[in-house]
Structure 1
């Protein structure tokens, strides 16, 4: 396996690990927003922005942590037969199925980029009372999907290396 591919896999996984670990802290931001919402409803005037801000924070948490959860193996896998196979058979099957995942993520990214461009061109805003601009959250979604595509490519390279008898 060429050294370039080994380094590429390690760099992609390092970037996704750092971003995923940073994204984990968004759960505290989400808790803060929800806590403020409860306090504001109980003692003050209800804030108009808290529900949507909580949704945006959760989207960031979910999407930016997606590639890191793939690294950790926290994704759902149908393990009816997979666990019984040899490591090379698992790698072979993963080489085939990762293309389905990459295809799906590329379609999602394509739609996300088009939607983000639309949001910038027309100044798209949410239809709620708060009316925040939608472009920032769409950028976060596109970035998170891009990280998952990179991680899928890293998995493909790792599986090819496994088939060739090289451990990355």
Structure 2
């Protein structure tokens, strides 16, 4: 089982690193838009919309990586003050609540994506961009967080039973 958990960790790590390149694409578009607007007085119609889409996709697609790295906001008042089993129990509760929330988001995300795809939904910009890629990014992002959250839930369950079976807290999981 631990090999499966490690495989999901490796996937979340690799996918997160791949998605991180979206930031650079977004930066290039922003710089291009600024130069075209202020140097040549010729802004693009598509620049602002694409930067919103790119940074929005980045924000949701990087969620599983952030969860793996422990980068989401946590209230640590009760954590790290007691035994490892107690900390694992609190982690278990946190991840159980996360699972309920992620299941709801995956369910709704699928509905949003499916409707957008079926009806060829477009945004209200002058170019009428399709909205299904944005909704697909949302679906993929929350699905990734659901899977990584399930791994963390199982890991906390193992920590409640046998804290010594878990590796020490990781800074970054290596492939």
Work out whether 1:141 is the aligned partner of 2:138. yes
Alignment partner of 2:80: what SS? helix
CA drift at 1:54: 0.5
Q: Which residue of 2 aligns with 1:167?
A: 166
Q: Which residue of 1 aligns with 2:125?
A: 128
Q: Which residue of 1 aligns with 2:170?
A: none
Unmatched 5+ stretches in structure 1: none
Summarize the alignment of residues 106-125 of structure 1 with structure 2, pairs less than 5 Å apart: 106-125=103-122
Q: Please identify which structure carries the higher helix content.
A: 1
Of 73, 78, 94, the residue aligned with 2:70 is: 73
CA-based RMSD of the aligned residues comes to: 1.2
Structure 2 distance, partners of 1:98, 1:60, is 23
Structure 2 distance, partners of 1:99, 1:23, is 26
Structure 2 distance, partners of 1:21, 1:88, is 32
TM norm structure 1: 0.93
Q: Which residue of 2 aligns with 1:98?
A: 95
Structure 1 distance, partners of 2:72, 2:83, is 20
TM norm structure 2: 0.89
Q: Which residue of 2 aligns with 1:25?
A: 21
Structure 2 distance, partners of 1:120, 1:22, is 25
Structure 1 distance, partners of 2:78, 2:159, is 19
Structure 1 distance, partners of 2:91, 2:78, is 13
